[in-house]
Chains A and B, each alone.
Chain A
Amino acid sequence: MRGNDGIFLSGVVLITILSATILLVVPDDVADELIPIVKLAMGIWILRSLLNFFGHSL
């Protein structure tokens, strides 16, 4: 449980920092297109972690 928590949080932090940096570097119009991709990545990560936590009871 503890290890899984740590992995989930590190994934969230990693995605956040990486995407914040990328959004800073690219110009504004590209950044607008990138935001949905970042959201998609975060959604996939959260769903994957959720399945990791509770997947065996589904």
Chain B
Amino acid sequence: MIAFFQNIVGSVLNNFIIVIIATLMALFIDFLFPTFSKWTRMFLLFIVITIVLQPAFEHLVLIQKIAHSISMTFLSIYPVLTAAMIASGGAFGMLNFQPAMLLFANGAVFLTERLLIPLLTAAIVLDLASRLLPEVSFSKMSDLIRTTLLGLVSALVTAYSIFITTGGTMSWAMSGFASEPIKELVRQNVPFIGSFMTESLGAIGKYSSGAAIFAGGWLITSIWTIALVPTLKTLFTAFLYRWTAALIEPFADEDITGVLDDIGKTLFVLCAVSFLIAFALIYTALFTVILVKLITTMK
């Protein structure tokens, strides 16, 4: 786990250290040549944008690639799953699963790949444009894009949880009093998507605890870990952006900290989007596991 975080920090921190050093250099140049302050600001902005955008776009491309490969996997696995469901016949009926969920999961992943991630890219570009030329500001539009996307993702996850809870046979041990302080902690400390995270994790947890009876706790834990690694990575990088912004705020221009903050916000929304993919993966993986278990034990 520590190696994992070191890996993430190492890949991103270099860029942020360059940003901090460039900001200090700009301060020096401003002090020595005050008449060139406009040029210094513009050059600094260009340096920051070129360096800082790289990790953000890497994450966007990463999530898009994952969405693409997962939707391809779904397309290839569904005929087999459907055939297995038909073959298992009546035994399947007692589980009360929703086969429509599979279609829904695939739709969500497709939506992510085709609509949500391009819109997030647009939000980043519009943010940068409005920082570069403050007279022509697009900040309202990029804010609108972000909040709309977040609303869309939340609605989709709510729909998931409705599907799952009407499926019956599901109850969750962790929703008791023990996890409430942790939920509250996450809700307070992760900006924008904190409450969304706790709610959606609760919803998917409800489902997987029902599945744990069949599949075993360790298997479920490993599926969760695999599915949530990209999300955690994105979340951590988003926090790094905000931390850097907070660190350089006393001595840097407001533009620079604003750019970092905006990219951080967009990455938080990306993190919420990647939750969708994680859910789809968790649901399908557990579904497959339970189906295989059922078929092998009923035989």
Q: Does A12 contact B (CB under 8 A)?
A: yes
Q: Are B132 and A12 in contact (CB under 8 A)?
A: no
Chain B interface helix/strand/loop/mixed: helix
With both beta carbons as reference points, the residue of chain B lying nearest to A42 in the complex is identified as B136
Q: Are A5 and B42 in contact (CB under 8 A)?
A: no
Q: Does A13 contact B (CB under 8 A)?
A: yes
- Which of B38, B125, B135 contacts A24 (CB under 8 A)? B38
Q: Are A5 and B122 in contact (CB under 8 A)?
A: yes
Q: Are B42 and A20 in contact (CB under 8 A)?
A: yes
Q: Are B136 and A16 in contact (CB under 8 A)?
A: yes
Q: Are B132 and A20 in contact (CB under 8 A)?
A: yes
Distance A38 CA – B135 CA, assembled complex (angstroms): 9
- Which of B42, B122, B135 contacts A9 (CB under 8 A)? B122
Within 8 A of B (CB), among A1-22: 2, 5, 9, 12-13, 15-17, 19-20
B residues less than 8 Å from A35 (CB atoms): 135
Q: Does B97 contact A (CB under 8 A)?
A: no
B residues less than 8 Å from A38 (CB atoms): 133, 135-136
Q: Does A48 contact B (CB under 8 A)?
A: no
A residues less than 8 Å from B125 (CB atoms): 9, 12-13
Distance A5 CA – B117 CA, assembled complex (angstroms): 12
Q: Are B118 and A16 in contact (CB under 8 A)?
A: no
Q: Are B133 and A12 in contact (CB under 8 A)?
A: no
Chain B's interface size range is 10 to 19
A residues less than 8 Å from B126 (CB atoms): 9, 12
Distance A24 CA – B132 CA, assembled complex (angstroms): 11
B interface list, Cβ under 8 A from A: 38-39, 42, 114, 118, 121-122, 125-126, 129, 132-133, 135-136, 138
Question: Could you pull out 20 A-B pairs where Cβ atoms are within 8 angstroms?
Answer: A2-B114, A2-B118, A5-B122, A9-B121, A9-B122, A9-B125, A9-B126, A12-B125, A12-B138, A13-B129, A15-B136, A16-B129, A16-B133, A19-B133, A20-B133, A23-B133, A24-B38, A24-B42, A38-B135, A39-B135
Other A-B pairs beyond A16-B136, A19-B136, 15, CB < 8 Å: A9-B121, A12-B129, A12-B138, A15-B136, A16-B132, A16-B133, A17-B132, A19-B133, A20-B42, A20-B132, A24-B38, A24-B39, A24-B42, A38-B135, A42-B136
A interface list, Cβ under 8 A from B: 2, 5, 9, 12-13, 15-17, 19-20, 23-24, 35, 38-39, 42
